[in-house]
Structure 1
Amino acid sequence: MSPSTSTDTRRRALVTGASGGIGAAIARELAALGVDLVLTARRRDALDAVAASCEGVKVEIVTADLGKPDAARALWEATIAGGPIDILINNAGFGYFRRFDEVDWARDAELIQLNMTSLVALTRCFVDAHKTSTQPANIVNIASTGAYQSVPNMALYAASKAFVRNFSEALHDEHRGTPLSVTCICPGGTETAFHAASGGGDYSWIANASTKSAEFVAHAAIRAMLRGKRTVVPGFFNKVSCFGVRFLTRRFASRVATQVLGKPRFELPARRGI
């Protein structure tokens, strides 16, 4: 089920949160496979830079703020105006590293909208578009190792990623044996701007040792997608921690997460997003 490089059958992918980090790296991975791209995020200048690095394929840019209600539907309509979408990469998302009661509701509402509601809305658009299709169709949803347990100081973020994981795995099973495949990727710490934007803590050596590059995660994600995998945790250390947590009580696992992630920084940066 590898993407074709024929101009007549070339596949087309929508990548959200494509202005940096994992999204940008996935865009380059897909471009290397000959997949045409629609890149979306809030920052046009950053998207232009990513588009320039995706050589040999057609790249379109649609700026959108998926943290706003109804933005997903508008994005989908703008995207399919240029042709059908065969691959959907739901990567856009953000989190913060703070006690839940120390953050204003507006930021929480945006997190819920971006990490869950818009992801579900785009997924619904994609699934509806492929109900009668006999051609391969792929969804990749980016979750987190935080999807495997509660994470103090990232309570809402981790909960949103648990939602993404459960939602993705159920969709994968619903569509087993059909041309539509759903893959969930659960990265651990990744070398992106996420940590600075979230006001990340003074991470322990364990957290730092398990951190991977965005390129590593992107390569694992696309390889898993092409193989029709259900859920993939990139990185050996991350795999071990996600497997091992099932042998701990939930309370103890939560306390371990607190030790691994350290304390929040003094100031939470203003929300910028991707």
Structure 2
Amino acid sequence: MNKTVLITGATSGLGYEFVKMFAADGYDLVLVARNKLKMEEIKSHYSNSKVTVIEKDLSNQYAAKEVFEEVKAAGITINTLVNNAGFGLMGKFDELQISKQSEMIQLNITALTELTYYFLPEMRNSSNAARILNVASTAAFQPGPLMAVYYATKAYVLSFSEALAEELTDTNVTVTTLCPGATKTNFASVANVEKTKMFSGAMSSQEVAEEGYRALLSGKRVVITGSTNKLGAYAAKFLPRSLAAKIAKYVAKEA
């Protein structure tokens, strides 16, 4: 049986880097994103892999279940799940549109949780190794004024993933949480944080994806990319939460 990975947010940034890495290792690919034309373009570059394209906006209710149903209808078995899709918004909580913030919660939290829920039973019942990679952020380690909801969603991803990893101890399934800091992807322009202090030393998406990929294959539970980000996440454990929030607010301002 061929190894098959499902990757959300597969058309750009970390998602596209993961596509390249899994394809190079001989995986069949299930790509999930909103941009069907871009996915079809990516598919045309990987004739040596079976590539299935699913056009879906995971910020919509029920989208995750629809993805699962389409995968099952196609007779595809998923061995590796990469929950990469997500976005952030910069601004004061009460000044940002609540509809967009609700979409963020739906995508960053609900879709990730539901996809994991639907695919996990089959992964557990497989006799082969199965892997889940959930993309969180260094934002998971402290509160984030001016990006309050985004930081909170990533704290959920980290907590959920670590708990699930422990539940799955002694099974064939591992759960890895990738916690990058600022990364050069479309995220910065969507979130309107390109000119902030936090993005002054952004890592490349390739660097981040490579660290995440190695951690996934080795079964590591949490990987924080970049030495500076590791130090910051470690320090956040010992700082008073109020001070950590002030620091996060400072780096959210324009450089």
- TM-score > 0.5, shorter chain as reference: yes
Q: Deviations over 1:94-137 (max 9, x none)?
A: 11011110112211111111111111110001112223222111
Give the deviation of 1:65 after TM superposition.
0.7
Establish whether residue 256 from structure 1 lines up as the match of residue 250 from structure 2: no
Once the two structures are superposed, the pairs formed by residues 120-269 of structure 1 within 5 Å of their partners are 120-200=113-193, 202-204=195-197, 207-209=199-201, 211-263=202-254
Counterpart residue number, 1:70: 62
Which AA in structure 1 matches 2:236? V
Give the deviation of 1:33 after TM superposition.
0.7
SS at match of 2:113: helix
Contact kept in structure 1, 2:183 and 2:199, CA below 8 Å: no
Which AA in structure 1 matches 2:52? E
Contact kept in structure 1, 2:193 and 2:199, CA below 8 Å: no
Alignment counterpart, residue 82 of structure 2, candidates 89, 93, 114: 89
Contact kept in structure 2, 1:20 and 1:46, CA below 8 Å: no
Contact kept in structure 1, 2:87 and 2:104, CA below 8 Å: yes
Q: Flag structure 1 segments of 5+ consecutive residues without an equivalent.
A: 1-8, 265-274
SS at match of 1:135: coil
Task: Give the distance between the partners of 2:44 and 2:34, measured in 1 at CA.
Answer: 17
Which AA in structure 1 matches 2:44? A
Contact kept in structure 2, 1:99 and 1:153, CA below 8 Å: yes
Task: Give the distance between the partners of 2:60 and 2:36, measured in 1 at CA.
Answer: 17
| Percent identical | 38
Task: Give the distance between the partners of 1:50 and 1:234, measured in 2 at CA.
Answer: 26
Once the two structures are superposed, the pairs formed by residues 82-121 of structure 1 within 5 Å of their partners are 82-121=75-114
Contact kept in structure 2, 1:147 and 1:159, CA below 8 Å: yes
SS at match of 2:134: strand
Contact kept in structure 2, 1:20 and 1:50, CA below 8 Å: no
Establish whether residue 43 from structure 1 lines up as the match of residue 43 from structure 2: no
Contact kept in structure 2, 1:16 and 1:39, CA below 8 Å: yes
TM-score (norm 1): 0.89
Contact kept in structure 1, 2:56 and 2:63, CA below 8 Å: yes
Task: Give the distance between the partners of 2:64 and 2:104, measured in 1 at CA.
Answer: 14
Task: Give the distance between the partners of 1:182 and 1:167, measured in 2 at CA.
Answer: 10
SS at match of 1:237: helix
Task: Give the distance between the partners of 1:258 and 1:54, measured in 2 at CA.
Answer: 43
